[in-house]
Chain A
Amino acid sequence: MAGTFSLRIVSPEGNLLKEDVEFVVLPGGMGELGILPNHAPLIAGLDVGVIRYTRSGSTKHAAIAGGFVEVVDNQAIVLADTAELGEAIDLKRAMEAKERAMKRLAARTNEIDVRRAEYALRRAIARISASGDKK
């Protein structure tokens, strides 16, 4: 057992999570980033996606819409644009958001709308895959 380190997720709307974890997987800008205790100091950009964190054998999820992570002194601090814990995600709403984004993508109007819809779609997919955690 390599021990634990502290994981914090903060967004402009408030603190979302502060927990001691054994292992975290983050959606890095260039692929997934796995963080174990005593990681070297790191600053990385994060993409839209799912954070998975493991504590005594059980894995939980959180969806984020991009941001940054700083790992230093056995602390990982995620700065998320927006973030939601898996247990708090409303699956139905996420599904609806996905449907809406797909419809808008199919309509293909101008470039900005398409970019926005793609972003919304990726966020919805991240939320769908992060949902379903038990309390």
Chain B
Amino acid sequence: MAGVRDIRRRIRSVRNMQQITKAMKMVSAAKLRKAQQKLGAARPYANQLQGVLERLAQAPGDTVHPLLVKRPVQKVVYVLITSDRGLCGGYNANLIRMTAGLIAETPQEVKLVTVGRRGRDFFRRGKTEFLAEFVALGDEPSYNQAKEIAQEVVRLYEQGEADEVYLMYTEFVSAITQRPTQVKLLPIEKPEGKQSKQYIFEPSPDEILASLLPKYVETQIFRSILEGKASEQGARMTAMSSATDNAKDMIDRLSLAMNRARQAAITKEISEIVGGAAALE
């Protein structure tokens, strides 16, 4: 049986940890709200861009843009979006496991572009080659950061370093549910849509398409980064919340053990005194 003092020391250290996890939980709750807001703010633009792309796809004339052309697939690139920081439950682990599984299943040559420190650090140990890495996006990633990543990815695709590009990110379902997701980024699937109104295009549909498609890639990446950020904060909040609860259970259990030990010590002392007194008589 551990001494009363040892137990008391343990209670103190668990309580300190509990305070930290509690603070982290509240911080990530605030950050989650912000991240969700940004995600919501990005939606109208993304939807509208998608709409314009659909309208363009129906425009007369066969639009052949390099980003739309399917090539025989020899090289596959996965763009993996993880967080920079840990302590967020299974957020990174789930996505990394899924990605590692997919890489193992892909018969073609696979290379990686990583966003976020966690994914990079994990795959650095493996033998999958990196084409680019982006770290330290911060808690509020800006569109320009997504743009930078998109430009690099498009460049890789145009130079033939990749015949297909997939985005691996965590979709934000709710604060307690996040889903690892795989989305094909390139080549862009030409959206099907019903013939609607007759549009005027200025300049030509091809030229608009040429400037729109890179933006479409940027938006997709930006959205998945925002989804990832919201998921990260949600996962962290849940993880820290259960850590706080666990700490409370632990303190309760330790307090019980401490009281019992103290009781035992007192009982022992009394019986020693009584025993000593009895011996004198």
Contact = CB atoms under 8 A, between A and B. Distances in A.
A44 B197 contact: no
Nearest to B223: A12
Given A29-B202, A43-B208, A79 B197 contact: no
Interface residues of B, number: 30
Contacts of B211: 45, 68
Interface in B229-262: none
User: Which secondary structure dominates chain B's binding surface?
Assistant: helix
A45 B207 contact: yes
Contacts of B42: 12-14
Interface residues of A, number: 23
Contact of A42 (B41, B51, B200, B218): B200
A45 B38 CA distance: 26
A28 B38 CA distance: 29
A77 interface: yes
Contacts, number: 76
B208 A44 contact: yes
Interface in A71-103: 72, 77, 79, 81-82
A79 B45 contact: yes
Interface of B: 38, 41-42, 44-46, 48-49, 51-52, 55-56, 142-143, 146, 197-203, 207-208, 211-212, 215, 218-219, 222
Given A12-B143, A68-B52, A79-B52, A28 B45 contact: no
Contact of B212 (A10, A68, A72): A68
A70 interface: yes
Interface of A: 10-15, 28-30, 33, 40-45, 68, 70, 72, 77, 79, 81-82
Contact of A79 (B38, B49, B199, B200): B49
B56 to A, nearest CB: 7
A43 B206 CA distance: 12
A10 B45 contact: yes
A120 to B, nearest CB: 12
